[in-house]
Amino acid sequence: MAPISFIDFEASSLSQNSWPIEVGIATINDGQIESWGSLIRPAASWDLEDWDLAAELKTGINRHELYDAPAPRDVADELIQRAETSDFVLYSDAPAFDANWLRVLMDEHPSDQRVQALDFDTLINTRMSQDMKAWERVYNYLDSHPAPHRAEADARRLASAFLEGA
């Protein structure tokens, strides 16, 4: 099986003006999960007033921690390198949100490389539609392992669920 990757973001809020504060990627390669994550320093162009205290409480990420984090361009460099393993396709359990935050992050990078955040559920339904037991193992895993709301751990959770069904 070709490598397959999963992505997750944590963000300043869920509003239209939100921006990514953390990204995580988990890649399955030869049955093993490799993961990476990084906090993201706010870019000068991002609306710093768009900060939701409820999101901070959920993730445990304080806005002040971000000022020592890598710059968006550096995080995007690493993300592109890791996404190359899976042909720049990453699967997300919240693709509408994650695709937006991916775009916001990539807007800070000079590359024209297109990285896509596609739907995890569509992947599972396509790959496991003929095997209901595999499909059930994936979603039972997700139900019994709640999302920790940290990007790398959440991406690893999706990769682990996928392996449960494989």
pLDDT tens-place string over residues 86-95? 999 999 999 9
- Measured CA to CA, the distance from residue 89 to residue 103 in angstroms comes to 14
H or E segment and range at residue 134 = helix 132-144
**Domains of the chain (ranges, CATH numbers):** 4-165 (3.30.420.10)
Query: Are 135 and 8 in contact, with CB atoms under 8 Å apart?
Result: no
Residue 145 has pLDDT above 90, yes or no: yes
pLDDT tens, residue by residue, 36-88: 999 999 999 999 999 999 999 999 999 999 999 999 999 999 999 999 999 99
Cβ-based neighbour number of residue 27 at 10 Å: 21
pLDDT reported for residue 130: 85
Confidence band of 111 (pLDDT split at 50, 70, 90)? confident
Report CA torsion sign: 91, 119, 69, 160.
negative
List, for residues 9-22, the tens digit of each pLDDT value.
Answer: 999 999 999 999 99
Its pTM stands at: 0.96
For residue 72, give Cα distances in angstroms to 14, 81, 106, 107.
19, 14, 8, 9
In one letter, which amino acid is 54?
A
Looking at the chain, the whole-number percentage of residues with pLDDT higher than 70 is: 100
Tokens 């990007």, residue?
Answer: 151
Q: Which pLDDT does position 62 carry in this prediction?
A: 94
pLDDT at 36: 98
Report the range out of 57-71, 106-120, 126-140 with the highest average pLDDT.
57-71
